[in-house]
């Protein structure tokens, strides 16, 4: 691929890297490559968690490539927007948890990719914004609503102003804010905790969280109970209980 790579950096930890200099603005090809990469992860048993990052200090993903907006019109917009949505959903629907490592600016498309991750860690120089109001398009507010309260969503959407990583942490959107040179290690540290868990249980947990996110309490809990019933048929489930009673680390086999 031209703009996206997938590597197995540590045991069971996949790393997806976007690299489209100078600021990782995403064009149609990059959207497609991100989607193909995350869909490919669903077919792999050796990856239990993913770190999603980008090269460079200036931006995680500096929005959509604005050159493509110049050729967009009501006749071709629907097809283009569908491919953009599919790229976002490939991250959200990834069968394993995705940790976003956000360094530099994350405006518009960058914010949307961050919002469809499961967990975010960010550098001190990271910022988040919805500048769509400034360039004649809409979108991203629904993604942002996963991260901050509605009144903050509206302020950011109406003004296009940036919010720092520290402010985002105060709203609960970011797990940890560290210096730029500590960012990858901070992301790996979270990833290692997840990678030690049963791959069966982690995939079920991801499926559960995505499904119940917008359910009411009773239906959501009923769905979770159904997955507990399904999980009880796997050897990993019994191994987790045995390890607890025997006061040892479990040895999961993914069955």
> pLDDT of 197-241, one tens digit each?
999 999 999 999 999 999 999 999 999 999 999 999 999 999 898
Distance, CA of 176 to CA of 201 (rounded, Å): 25
Distance, CA of 123 to CA of 79 (rounded, Å): 35
pLDDT of residue 253: 85
User: Is the pLDDT assigned to residue 69 strictly greater than 70?
Assistant: no
Dig out the tokens for 38 from the structure: 């995350």
For residues 53 and 5, the answer to whether their CB atoms sit within 8 Å is no
Confidence of residue 75 (pLDDT cuts 50, 70, 90): low
Terminal-residue alpha carbon distance, the chain: 33
pLDDT of residue 79: 78
pLDDT of residue 133: 86
> pLDDT of 173-203, one tens digit each?
999 999 999 999 999 999 999 999 999 999 9
Place of tokens 């985002």: 168
């Amino acid at each position: 691929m031209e703009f996206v790579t997938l590597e197995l950096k540590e045991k069971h930890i996949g790393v997806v890297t976007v690299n489209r200099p100078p600021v990782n603005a995403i064009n149609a090809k990059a959207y497609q490559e991100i989607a193909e990469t995350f869909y490919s992860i669903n077919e792999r048993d050796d990856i239990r968690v993913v770190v999603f990052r980008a090269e460079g200090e200036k931006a995680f993903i500096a929005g959509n490539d604005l050159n493509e907006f110049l050729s967009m019109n009501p006749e071709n917009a629907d097809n283009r927007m569908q491919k953009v949505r599919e790229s976002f959903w490939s991250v959200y629907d990834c069968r394993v948890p995705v940790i976003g490592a956000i360094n530099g600016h994350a405006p518009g498309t960058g914010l949307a990719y961050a919002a469809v991750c499961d967990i975010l860690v960010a550098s001190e120089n990271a910022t988040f914004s919805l500048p769509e109001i400034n360039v004649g398009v809409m979108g991203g507010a629904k993604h942002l609503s996963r991260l901050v309260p509605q009144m903050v969503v509206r302020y950011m959407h109406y003004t296009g102003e940036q919010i720092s990583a520290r402010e985002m942490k105060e709203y609960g959107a970011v797990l940890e804010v560290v210096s730029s040179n500590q960012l990858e290690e901070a992301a790996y540290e979270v990833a290692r905790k997840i990678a030690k868990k049963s791959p069966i249980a982690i995939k079920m947990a991801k499926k559960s969280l995505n499904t119940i996110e917008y359910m009411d309490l009773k239906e959501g809990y009923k769905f979770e109970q159904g997955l507990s019933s399904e999980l009880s048929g796997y050897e990993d489930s019994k191994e987790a209980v045995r390890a607890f009673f025997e006061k040892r680390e479990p040895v999961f086999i993914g069955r």
